[in-house]
A and B are shown apart, each in its own frame.
Chain A
Amino acid sequence: MVNFEPTDEQRLLQQTLAAFSRETIRPQARPADEADAVPDALVSASWALGLVSDTVPERHGGHGSPRSALTGALMLEELAYGSLGITLHLLAPRLVTIPLVALGTEAQQARWLPRFAGDRFVAGTAALIEPRWDFDPTNLSTRAERAGSDWVIEGHKTFVPLATEAEVFLVYAQTAEGPGAFLVEAGTAGLQVEEREKTMGIKALATYALRLDGVRVPAANRLGGEATSAQPLIDAARVASAAAAVGVARAAFDYAREYAKERKAFGVAIARKQAIAFMLSNMAIEIDAMRLLAWEAAWRLDRGLPATREAWLARQYAADQTLRICDNALQVLGGHGYIRDHLVELFLRDARGFAAIDGLAIV
């Protein structure tokens, strides 16, 4: 039965994260962007929230909430509202834990999950994106070939979050039967972390190029076992992009709205001019529209329904709208929007990422 109301538990989570996002993440948004780094103290402070350990089942030492893409979407929106770059850093280990819970065998979960449920931040990451203009997660250039009882992975990845400190990499590679995902421990021979990527936005998140030069892993490291497709994870990554985009769009919208109510022209607040007011009303409508599309795709994932089309539409819609909303938000501030004293130019640079890349988060 159709319902647009989150559960009480989800609402409580939203409130908690909204407060954390506003009070703890947002004040660091600008400094982290300028410094190209997330402060260690913030990473530690966030650990207590259980953002990662909550994905790990109790039997593996975590808090064990059942996986819910919808709850993940709600979380991402709230956190990304504070700062996208910081959020993607804090949630990076989920790039390993969520796929393990979603598709991993019991043995794989027992082997790789417990380390993410400890009392401190342990980095895990995913290597999905490739340095190609027409990067396609369903048709990867990185190849995994079977060699006896092992898989041998060859390829080149980019935008791999926290690659220098990650203990576990979930590497996406093309197999004979489509995209698969492989668990690779840091330090495995042939796994070379290359230089840090320099990006237009999402600068707080450290991402790296990664070369896989004949990386050999046992068959037991293929996520989910033989022939398991990574498509559901690609869908979940797209839903994550869409949900995070809602958070960034809302951040830009709120910023522009507050500015427009303060800033005066011709004797009144510019928000009282229809030219400005209608830009804001359009933003509000599109934020709700993209949120509902993201929710619907997440709901399909949770229901186990086919979600590839919906996840992609939601992601595409969110990418387009977020970019436009951030651009308009900057326009509302006029020249001030172009100055780094205000956050809207940062939101715009961050928003551009959604149209270019997926795979930095998952739900």
Chain B
Amino acid sequence: MIDFELSEAIQQTRRMTHMVAEQMMRPISREYDEREHEKPMEFLETMWNVSKGATMTGGDGGEGERARRDPAERTLGMVVAVEELCWGDVGLYLSIPNPGLGGAAVAAAGTPEQKQRFLARFKEGKPKWGAMAITEPHCGSDTSAITTTAVRDGDHWVLNGTKIFCTSGLMAAEKSDGFVVVWATLDRSAGRAGIRAFVVDAGTPGMHVTKVESKLGIRASDTATIVFEDCRIPLDNILGSPEVKKTSHGFKGAMATFDATRPIVAASAIGVARAALDFVKATLEEQGIAVRYGAPLQRLTALERDVIDMEAQVQAARLLVWRAAWMIDRGLHNNLEASMAKAKAGLVVTQVTQKAVELLGPLGYSRRYLLEKWMRDAKISDIYEGTQQINQLIVARRILGYSSEELR
């Protein structure tokens, strides 16, 4: 039966995460936007202690997490929580120590033994981070063009190559006992079929962070370049089968990670969009300007029309995100719906935050308020975890019944 009411448990989660967003994130939001490359360690340690790394990605968060959340609503609960936290500050949210996207890959493609070996650490000890390394200087969306190599040498894989744009890469590779999941090719001539994901523990010799990017937004989150130079890792650190066959599902398995992570990233976009929308509405209310819902369109001011359009856009995107998450919880294949949600949310947050800055004029542009920051933070949502265009391509292929060869 179609129902839009969040369960009591999720509403509880929402209240708690909203409190965190409002009381712990907002007060330091501006500070860590300005102090790029510094970490709010007090906040991060508090978050580590309360969550002990409950995954943000639908991965195996362990018994504690299972007990707290009804597995039938785990992903839905997560997207609701992520929206709230990112309403607080998306850069800080991305910095929270947890298995991250690397953890999602392990959860999606790892064996039970690998999940235990790599994820158990997030339940104890000091704060840890996981990261995912896919993008290279010369390839982004076209992951089949990856040039980082993995070559077998006795009991080890030897990795060589350069990865860029790794979210939390510095924290995962060098500043904690976390790990980095690296996409590399076993056989370049095999194209996609040769690509596998490998887990590299923090501090492994041959793995170096050579650069931390300075960015338009999400400045509280580190985005690293990681170089692999004869980096040797154990044989059983490969996710999936090492055999390269034309029919291999290794690549598909890795791509399936995105079906789980895109709704989460889309939810983070909704949080930023709502922050901007709430700010606009609060400002209008202070000025005694009421938006007349239901009045004839012809009678509305341009301002009212914009606000109404923003609200409808945000809610439409939110419902697409909820549906994609609900499908995961139902065990349904959500490749199409995850990309729809991501494409829509990425565009909506970009447009809504830009419109909000426009509507509030000098207040929108001033760094005295957070709105200009949200506009800068927003843009990444339409890029990372699959750009607008790559998600459109995925949607197009699915609705047309075309393979990646038929629609390039």
Chain A interface residues (CB < 8 Å from chain B): 1-7, 10, 70, 133-136, 138, 257, 260-261, 271-272, 274, 277-278, 280-282, 284-285, 288-290, 292-293, 295-296, 299-300, 303, 308-309, 312-314, 316-317, 320
B76 touches A261 (CB 8 A): no
How far, in Å, is B381 (CB) from chain A's closest CB? Answer: 15
Q: Smallest Cβ distance from B85 to chain A, in angstroms?
A: 19
* A277 & B3 in contact (Cβ 8 Å cutoff): no
7 A-B pairs with the lowest CB-CB distances in the bound complex, closest first: A292-B319, A277-B396, A289-B316, A281-B395, A281-B396, A317-B312, A313-B312
| Residue numbers in A under 8 Å from B343 (CB-CB) | 281, 285
**When A1-B7, A2-B322, A313-B308 are in contact, do A277 and B2 touch as well, CB less than 8 Å?**
no
Contacts of B400 in A (CB 8 A): 257, 260-261, 271, 277, 280
CB of B154, distance to nearest CB on chain A (Å): 46
CA distance A295 to B315 in the complex (A): 12
Cα A312 to Cα B337 with chains together (Å):
25
Within the complex, the shortest CB–CB distance from B7 to chain A, in Å, comes to 5
Q: Which residue from B73, B315, B340 sits with its C-beta under 8 Å from A313?
A: B315
- The winner among B320, B344, B389, B392 for most chain A CB atoms within 10 A is B392
Q: Which of B268-276, B294-302, B372-380 contacts A (4 or more CB under 8 A)?
A: B294-302
Given contacts A4-B323, A271-B400, contact A309 B295 (CB under 8 A): no
Residue of B313, B340, B399 touching A280 (CB-CB under 8 A): B399
Given contacts A4-B326, A292-B319, A313-B312, 14 further A-B contacts (CB under 8 A): A1-B3, A1-B5, A135-B296, A274-B393, A278-B389, A288-B337, A292-B320, A293-B312, A293-B316, A303-B5, A308-B294, A312-B293, A313-B315, A316-B312
Chain B residue contacts of A309, Cβ below 8 A: 293-294
CB distance from A218 to the nearest CB of B (A): 31
B294 touching A312, Cβ below 8 Å:
yes
List of B residues within 8 angstroms of A133 by Cβ: 298
13 example contacts (A-B, Cβ-Cβ < 8 A) are as follows A1-B73, A4-B2, A138-B295, A277-B396, A277-B397, A278-B389, A289-B316, A289-B320, A292-B316, A293-B319, A296-B4, A296-B315, A299-B3
Chain B residues contacting A136 (CB-CB under 8 Å) are 295-296, 299
- How far, in angstroms, from A320 to B4 measured CA to CA in the complex? 23
Residue of A nearest to B313 (CB): A317
What's the least CB distance linking B407 to chain A, in Å?
Answer: 5
Is B369 positioned at the interface, with any CB of A under 8 Å from its CB? no
CB atoms of B396 and A280 under 8 A apart: yes
Please, what's the 1-or-0 string for B275-299, where 1 marks a CB less than 8 Å from any CB in chain A? 0000000000000000001111111
How many pairs of residues, A versus B, come closer than 8 Å at their CB atoms? 132
Give the shortest distance, in Å, between A135 (CB) and chain B (any CB): 6
How far is A308 from B10 in the complex, measured between Cα atoms in Å? 26
- Residues of chain B within 8 A of A288, CB atoms compared: 320, 323, 337, 340
Residues of A near B396 (CB, < 8 A) are 274, 277-278, 280-281
Question: Does the CB pair A3–B344 fall under 8 Å?
Answer: no
**Inside 8 A of A10's CB, which chain B residues have their CB?**
2
Cα-based distance from A6 to B73 in the complex (angstroms) = 18
Q: Does any Cβ of A come within 8 Å of B1's Cβ?
A: yes
- The dominant DSSP class at the B interface is helix
B6 touches A313 (CB 8 A): no
Across the interface, which residues of B come within 8 angstroms of A285, CB to CB? 320, 340, 343-344, 395
Mask of B384-408 contacts with A, CB within 8 angstroms, 1/0: 0000010011011101101000110
- CB closest chain-B residue, reference A293: B316
Q: Which of B3, B294, B395 contacts A284 (CB 8 A)?
A: B395
On chain B, the residues within 8 Å of A308 by CB distance are 293-294
Contacts of A134 in B (CB 8 A): 296, 298-299
Report yes or no: A292 in contact with B323, Cβ–Cβ below 8 A: yes
- Beta-carbon contact of A282 and B297 below 8 Å: no
Given contacts A257-B399, A316-B312, are A278 and B2 in contact (CB under 8 A)? Answer: no
B311: CB under 8 A from chain A?
yes
Assess whether A2 is in contact with B326, with CB atoms less than 8 Å apart: yes
CA distance A138 to B343 in the complex (A): 36
Flag whether B317 is at the interface (Cβ < 8 A): yes
Question: How many angstroms between the C-alpha atoms of A348 and B344 in the bound complex?
Answer: 24
Residue of B nearest to A272 (CB): B407
Contact with A along B320-360 (1 / 0, CB 8 A): 10110011000000000100100110000000000000000
Residues of chain A lying within 8 A (CB to CB) of residue B73 = 1-2
- Name A3's contact: one of B296, B316, B326 (CB within 8 Å): B326
**A261 CA to B323 CA, complexed, in Å:** 28
Docked Cα-Cα span, A314 to B315, in Å, equals 10
Name the residue on A nearest B77 (C-beta): A2
> Among the listed A278, A293, A303, which residue makes an inter-chain contact with B392, where contact means beta carbons less than 8 Å apart?
A278
Q: Do A299 and B395 have beta carbons less than 8 Å apart?
A: no
Q: If A1-B73, A317-B312 touch, does A281 touch B392 (CB 8 Å cutoff)?
A: yes
In-complex Cβ contact of A295 among B2, B317, B389, B399 (8 A): B2
Decide: B320 and A2 in contact? CB cutoff 8 A: no
Whose C-beta in chain B lies nearest to the C-beta of A284?
B399
Q: Report whether A2 and B406 are in contact in the complex, using a CB–CB cutoff of 8 Å.
A: no
Distance in angstroms between the alpha carbons of A308 and B292 in the assembled complex: 11
**In the complex, what distance in Å separates the CA atom of A282 from the CA atom of B389?**
11
In the complex, A285→B299 CA distance in Å? 30
**Once bound together, how far apart are the Cα atoms of A292 and B319, in whole Å?**
6
Please state if A138 and B294 are interface contacts (CB–CB under 8 Å). yes
- Is the beta-carbon distance between B3 and A316 smaller than 8 angstroms? no
**The one of B2, B340, B399 that contacts A5, using a Cβ cutoff of 8 Å:** B2
Q: How far is the CA of A317 from the CA of B310 in the complex (A)?
A: 10
A242 to B337, CA, bound (A): 21
Tell me, in angstroms, the Cα distance from A6 to B298 when the chains sit together.
36
Enumerate chain B residues within 8 angstroms of A316, measured Cβ to Cβ. Answer: 297, 308-309, 312
CB contacts (< 8 Å) of A1 on chain B: these are 3, 5-7, 73
Bound-state Cα–Cα, A134 to B1, Å: 38
- Which of chain B's residues have a CB closer than 8 A to the CB of A299? 2-4
A38 to B389, CA, bound (A): 43
Contact B402 A271, beta carbon cutoff 8 Å: yes
The answer on a CB contact under 8 Å between A289 and B326 is no
Which residues from A are CB-within-8-Å of B402?
Answer: 271-272, 277
A136 to B76, CA, bound (A): 38
Chain A residues with Cβ below 8 Å from B340 are 284-285, 288
- Minimum C-beta distance from A168 to chain B (A): 27
Scan B166-185; emit 1 where CB is below 8 A from any A CB, else 0.
00000000000000000000
Contact B393 A289 (CB under 8 A): no
Q: How far is the CA of A133 from the CA of B311 in the complex (A)?
A: 25
Contacts of B315 in A (CB 8 A): 293, 296, 313
Chain B residues, Cβ within 8 Å of A272: 402, 406-407
Please give me the residue from chain A that is nearest to B395 by CB atom. A281
Cα A309 to Cα B311 in complex, Å, equals 10
> How far apart sit A271 and B406, CA to CA, in the bound complex (Å)?
10
